[in-house]
Amino acid sequence: MLQSLAGSSCVRLVERHRSAWCFGFLVLGYLLYLVFGAVVFSSVELPYEDLLRQELRKLKRRFLEEHECLSEQQLEQFLGRVLEASNYGVSVLSNASGNWNWDFTSALFFASTVLSTTGYGHTVPLSDGGKAFCIIYSVIGIPFTLLFLTAVVQRITVHVTRRPVLYFHIRWGFSKQVVAIVHAVLLGFVTVSCFFFIPAAVFSVLEDDWNFLESFYFCFISLSTIGLGDYVPGEGYNQKFRELYKIGITCYLLLGLIAMLVVLETFCELHELKKFRKMFYVKKDKDEDQVHIIEHDQLSFSSITDQAAGMKEDQKQNEPFVATQSSACADGPANH
């Protein structure tokens, strides 16, 4: 008997705080996923980093042996300055000296990466004025971009997602949930094909040093707004039609970001995902809502009654004046 009561009380306790338990498991799962990613990246990339470090040490040692007139300190000072300039997008290599980072098309590409929060990092402001303007430009531009993207995605979603699903549901009598799932999968497949596979094939042809995997990697890193900056198109030596190429990439990134948001919005509107998301949200207490409604109604009723009472008092204040006037008028003819 006691065990059954204790078990039922535990079940009621878990059901009462189900959202909190789900949120706790969500946080734990996210932390474990972070640790899992760190372990995998470390195990995969650490050996390559070690090999690269050993190779650089050998090259440095060989260079100093071949140039005995140059000290190690002088070489490190030169390399430090070169690396500092490279971090700002300026290279001393002869095959990269012809590309300017701040012509109009490159600046347009940079502005698009700033507003979309992609931020490749291959080009950064050099002057203090440019850094200050970048802060002000981003503070205004990023919310403006969010508003713009939200409005565009909302309009596209109505025509691309909601109306087709409703049409097949009403016209052919299919289940709305099934139609929504099939539509979301097809839309995702078309988006991946048009904005990942096809552009990756195009980039692998236009960029000399990129294979298909590297091109696909760039497309995913860009459209997911991660923007690591290790692959940036249009930065090769003697790139043909570089200005037009940069404008095309800017348009591709903007259209691809809109397409990604439309797909995400389509999947988020699925009934199953809505139910799944609600498991981690804080549930509203109906009693609190009713209390707020009652308090609001009482406040409104009290204000109305106060207004009515005030009007009655005003009428009472005016009534003696009217009564005295009428009595005076009535006494006047009587005296006559």
Q: Burial of 167 by CB count in 10 Å (0-12 exposed, 13-18 middle, 19+ buried)?
A: exposed
Query: Is residue 62 assigned to a domain?
Result: yes
Query: Is residue 106 assigned to a domain?
Result: yes
Q: Per-residue DSSP letters for 130-145? A: HHHHHHHHHHHHHHHH
For the record, the structure tokens of 298 come out as 């009482």
Query: Is residue 159 assigned to a domain?
Result: yes
CATH number at residue 104: 1.10.287.70
> Which pLDDT does position 197 carry in this prediction?
96
Please indicate, yes or no, whether residues 44 and 146 belong to a single structural domain of this protein. no
Q: Is 103 left (phi over 0), alpha (psi -120 to 50) or beta?
A: beta
> Which pLDDT does position 143 carry in this prediction?
95
Query: Is residue 298 assigned to a domain?
Result: no
Query: Is residue 85 assigned to a domain?
Result: no
Q: Classify residue 283 by its DSSP letter.
A: P
For the record, the structure tokens of 208 come out as 């000399």
Please indicate, yes or no, whether residues 106 and 64 belong to a single structural domain of this protein. no
Of the three residues 280, 302, 325, the one that is the final residue of a domain is 280
Please indicate, yes or no, whether residues 46 and 150 belong to a single structural domain of this protein. no
Q: Is the dihedral of CA 129, 132, 136, 139 positive or negative?
A: positive
Task: Give per-residue burial for 120-135: e unless 16+ CB within 10 Å, then b.
Answer: bebbebeeeeeeeebe
Please indicate, yes or no, whether residues 112 and 194 belong to a single structural domain of this protein. yes
Please indicate, yes or no, whether residues 57 and 121 belong to a single structural domain of this protein. no
Neighbouring C-beta atoms of residue 62, cutoff 10 Å: 10
Count of domains forming the chain: 2
Of the three residues 280, 297, 317, the one that is the final residue of a domain is 280
Query: Is residue 306 assigned to a domain?
Result: no
> Which pLDDT does position 201 carry in this prediction?
95
CA-to-CA dists, residue 29 to 20, 24, 34, 237, 276, angstroms: 14, 9, 9, 45, 15
Q: Classify residue 196 by its DSSP letter.
A: I
> Which pLDDT does position 28 carry in this prediction?
94
For residue 110, give its domain range: 100-280
Please indicate, yes or no, whether residues 63 and 116 belong to a single structural domain of this protein. no
Please indicate, yes or no, whether residues 159 and 255 belong to a single structural domain of this protein. yes
Please indicate, yes or no, whether residues 200 and 274 belong to a single structural domain of this protein. yes
Q: For the chain, 336 residues long, give each residue's pLDDT as a single digit of tens.
A: 545 555 566 667 667 777 788 888 989 999 999 999 999 999 999 999 999 999 988 998 888 888 888 888 888 888 888 887 777 767 776 555 556 778 888 889 899 999 998 888 778 888 889 999 999 999 999 999 999 999 999 999 999 999 999 998 898 888 889 999 999 999 999 999 999 999 999 999 988 889 999 999 999 999 998 888 888 888 766 677 878 888 999 999 999 999 999 999 999 988 888 888 888 887 766 555 454 544 444 434 344 344 444 444 444 444 443 333 334 333 443 343
Please indicate, yes or no, whether residues 117 and 265 belong to a single structural domain of this protein. yes
Determine the Cα–Cα distance for residues 201 and 210; give it in Å rounded to an integer. 10
Query: Is residue 310 assigned to a domain?
Result: no
Please indicate, yes or no, whether residues 114 and 54 belong to a single structural domain of this protein. no
Please indicate, yes or no, whether residues 113 and 63 belong to a single structural domain of this protein. no
Give the predicted TM-score (pTM) of the model: 0.72
Please indicate, yes or no, whether residues 233 and 116 belong to a single structural domain of this protein. yes
Of the three residues 280, 302, 326, the one that is the final residue of a domain is 280
Of 140, 185, 152, which Cα lies nearest the Cα of 261?
A: 152
What is the chain's Cα-based Rg? 35
Query: Is residue 40 assigned to a domain?
Result: yes
> Which pLDDT does position 94 carry in this prediction?
57
**CA 71, chain centre distance (Å):** 50
Q: Is 45 left (phi over 0), alpha (psi -120 to 50) or beta?
A: alpha
